[in-house]
Amino acid sequence: MALNDTWSGVAKTEWQLASENSYDSDKRELKARHIYAGFDGSQYGQFLFGQTETAFYNATVAKTDIFNDYGDMANVYDGRQEGQAIYNGQWNGFGLKGGYITNNGSYDANYAGWSGVEGKMDHGYTLGATYDFDFGLGLAAGYESKSFEDASSLTITSENGTFSRADLTDKNDWAVAASYTYQGFYFAALYNESTYKFDGFNDAKARGYELAASYNVDAWTFLAGYNFAEAKVEGVTSYEDTVDFTSMGVEYAFNSKLKAYTEYKIQGLSQQDDEWTVGMQYNF
């Protein structure tokens, strides 16, 4: 909605219902994905308020998050955050993103089913910077930090067992990413590290990388990717594998709103089974 020659109002709302076999299928209520409103000032940038992805995700993780189901699992990004104040700016190939995350008394984040945080988040902030060259190469870096209170807990599940502790105080994430586009081809890579700090206990750390590629021809898109992550507790365990899989997929777009897709995940962890999914998506 245009307010004047420079500024316009923007808003978005999007909801989801967990499927029966998803990792959060015990929470079958309708959940908000995006609920925000704000202002777009063209060359002055965009200001948003509400719940959506963070600057950290939009700058870095989004580059490899191209799969419908079997991707974006080798990082511990916390997901969409509510109560954000966000700024997005773009000038001649350079992008700057930032946000402040307000208090959340019922924080519950599950990272692709292998790690999660529950408790009370006091506050957080998130930053991202990107640069897109005119020959198809894009580079990005991001950082995100959160402070927790009142015995917030962390759980990490690796191939060798589960670590859980209930005195989490801080979580810090950083990542670098790159992408390259050439005609119908797209390639992207992400590397990320995260540190969890506790009250009177050793730090826990997680790190991982993701590779993703796609090829689009007419209504067809072919996908391939690889995800690997590992985690440790300083002075207690060495790095143990938490994610290791190769994924492949095919999409067919019937029109600009409706598509069908299928994806297959080949597990590299000995205690995990291969997976296959089929789905359809309609955008209203």
Residue 170's pLDDT band (cuts 50, 70, 90): very high
pLDDT for the residue 42: 86
Return the sign of the alpha-carbon dihedral for residues 115, 12, 99, 174.
positive
Q: Residue 243 is which amino acid?
A: V
CB-based contacts of 20: which residues, under 8 Å, 6+ apart?
none
pLDDT for the residue 35: 92
pLDDT tens-digit series, residues 90-125:
999 999 999 999 998 888 887 777 788 888 999 999
Q: How confident is the prediction for the chain on average, in pLDDT?
A: 91
Residue 44's pLDDT band (cuts 50, 70, 90): very high
Q: Return d(Cα 281, Cα 97) in angstroms, integer.
A: 29
pLDDT for the residue 271: 83
pLDDT for the residue 24: 52
pLDDT for the residue 205: 95
Residue 27 has pLDDT above 60, yes or no: no
pLDDT for the residue 157: 87
Q: Return d(Cα 11, Cα 112) in angstroms, integer.
A: 28
Share of the chain above pLDDT 70, in %: 95
Cβ–Cβ < 8 Å for 62, 42 = no
Phi, psi torsion values for 236, nearest 5 degrees: -120, -50
Q: Residue 261 is which amino acid?
A: Y
Chain centroid to CA 262: how far? 21
Strands (E) located in the chain: 8-17, 30-40, 46-52, 81-91, 94-101, 104-111, 115-132, 137-158, 161-182, 185-198, 201-217, 220-233, 240-253, 258-267, 275-282
Residue 43 has pLDDT above 70, yes or no: yes
Question: Structural domain boundaries of the chain?
Answer: 53-217
Phi, psi torsion values for 62, nearest 5 degrees: -60, -25
| Stretch (H or E) spanning 56 | helix 55-59
Name the residue with tokens 């502790």: 165
Closest CA to 234 of 207, 201, 209: 201
The CA–CA distances, whole Å, from 56 to 77, 78, 142, 230, 249 equal: 8, 10, 5, 20, 26
